[in-house]
Amino acid sequence: MSRRPQVRDDLRELVGYHSPQVTVDVRLNTNEAPGPPPAAFGEAVAAAARDLDWHRYPDRGATELRRAIGRLYGGLGPERVFCANGSNEVLQTVLLTFAGPGRRTLTFEPTYALHAHLGRITGSEPVAVDRDPGFTIDPVAAAEAVRRVEPAITFLCSPNNPTGMVEPDETIEAVLDAVTEVGGLLVVDEAYGEFAPRSAVELLDDDRPLVVTKTYSKTWAMAAARLGYLLGPAWLVEKLELVVLPYHLDALKQAAGLAALGFVDEMNARVASIVEERGRIEAALGELGAEVWPSGANFVLFRPPTDGATVWQQLVDRSVLVRNTASWEHLDGCLRVTVGTAEENGRFLSALADILGAAAPLR
């Protein structure tokens, strides 16, 4: 009888990263945009698809797309932009390049689970440090943790997933100073950055070991496209290009990314609408007696006044799906709701009010 090949010893106990797939009328669990891009975007992508040389490999460097993205950020050159299949592949490539066996990564928990998950997959040793009560990060303690652990890569997620909180400039700068001392790299994950009042992009410099990762999935309403990018020093981007697979970014995806950048005004309007609805949800949750954390993202973390797991199931019973975040460290009883359309948000709030035996908030 033949023997089956075995996975690596360090991956045998690994649990995959996923979100529950449940058929409901209102799906507010995966932080997707509440609506599609403009119809003209689809028409632009269709036109680009008709003109593609399908028998030829795509531009290996995605130069035109990188140049266009760089223009969004004060004229960064394409050599300071790296694109990949979603920000998750961007993160994976960074880990493959600068972490790996014999090296550590550092996260501040609770935070985006895929940072540590991808670290394990790429052979790194993930080290986690707890945030303070209220899910803040003390700048001095964070810098001390960096000096103690000496990680190859330190992750800060801002706005943080799943809490939604935005890291203050002083926290990012303190961690960056410590990372520089130990010869590491700071990755600021800004998947939700456009919904927040500030960005770490302003701290980028060729002499600083800092990168900022972004995605088209949220702001640009393009989760189906799986397109993300990184902004950072030219020397770092050059190393990433040595590691990523050849022709990893297909021509249609590059065309879609370029087409989206022609609709900046529509994107800004979408962000403004989501931020307004986010405020409505936060206020209504407070009226319903929930504990609510301030969000700079397109979702809100809250703890209902009764058992969170029971509330989650009762929402599903009413055909509303939110994220049960109890599996995250320190988030017992917490739920995370994505900002949807005004109608979807109303359905969620009405269902939650019904469950809690309260009158539905009017605004």
How, if at all, do strands 291-292 and 320-324 pair? unpaired
pTM of the model: 0.94
Q: How confident is the model at residue 2 (pLDDT cuts 50, 70, 90)?
A: confident
**From-to residues of CATH 3.40.640.10 in the chain:** 39-263
Whether the pLDDT of residue 105 is over 80: the answer is yes
d(CA 218, CA 195): 9
- Among the residue ranges 22-26, 61-65, 152-156, 270-274, the one predicted with the least confidence is 22-26
Cα torsion through 194, 107, 87, 36, rounded to 10: -50
DSSP state, 187?
Answer: E
Q: How confident is the model at residue 4 (pLDDT cuts 50, 70, 90)?
A: confident
Tens digit of each residue's pLDDT (9 = 90 or more) over 43-81: 999 999 999 999 999 999 999 999 999 999 999 999 999
Q: How confident is the model at residue 19 (pLDDT cuts 50, 70, 90)?
A: low
Q: What is the mean pLDDT of the chain?
A: 94
Tell me: domain 9-37+265-356, CATH 3.90.1150.10, correct?
Answer: yes
Whether the pLDDT of residue 203 is over 90: the answer is yes
Tens digit of each residue's pLDDT (9 = 90 or more) over 266-306: 999 999 999 999 999 999 999 999 999 999 999 999 999 99
Residue predicted with more confidence, 286 or 2: 286
**From-to residues of CATH 3.90.1150.10 in the chain:** 9-37+265-356
Percent of the chain past pLDDT 90, that is, above it, reads: 90
Residue predicted with more confidence, 3 or 243: 243
Q: How confident is the model at residue 16 (pLDDT cuts 50, 70, 90)?
A: low
Whether the pLDDT of residue 191 is over 90: the answer is yes
**Stretch (H or E) spanning 129:** strand 125-130
Cα torsion through 222, 226, 227, 231, rounded to 10: 110
Residue 361's pLDDT is 61
Q: How confident is the model at residue 358 (pLDDT cuts 50, 70, 90)?
A: confident
Whether the pLDDT of residue 116 is over 70: the answer is yes
Residue 1's pLDDT is 62
Q: How confident is the model at residue 360 (pLDDT cuts 50, 70, 90)?
A: low
Contact present, 291 and 303 (Cβ < 8 Å): yes
Tell me: domain 39-263, CATH 3.40.50.2000, correct?
Answer: no
Residue 20's pLDDT is 65
Tens digit of each residue's pLDDT (9 = 90 or more) over 316-355: 999 999 999 988 888 999 999 999 999 999 999 999 999 9
Residue 326's pLDDT is 87
Q: What are the two backbone dihedrals, phi and then psi, of residue 246, each rounded to the nearest 5 degrees?
A: -60, 140
d(CA 219, CA 14): 31
Q: What are the two backbone dihedrals, phi and then psi, of residue 157, each rounded to the nearest 5 degrees?
A: -105, 115
Q: How confident is the model at residue 5 (pLDDT cuts 50, 70, 90)?
A: confident
Residue 327's pLDDT is 82
Percent of the chain past pLDDT 70, that is, above it, reads: 96
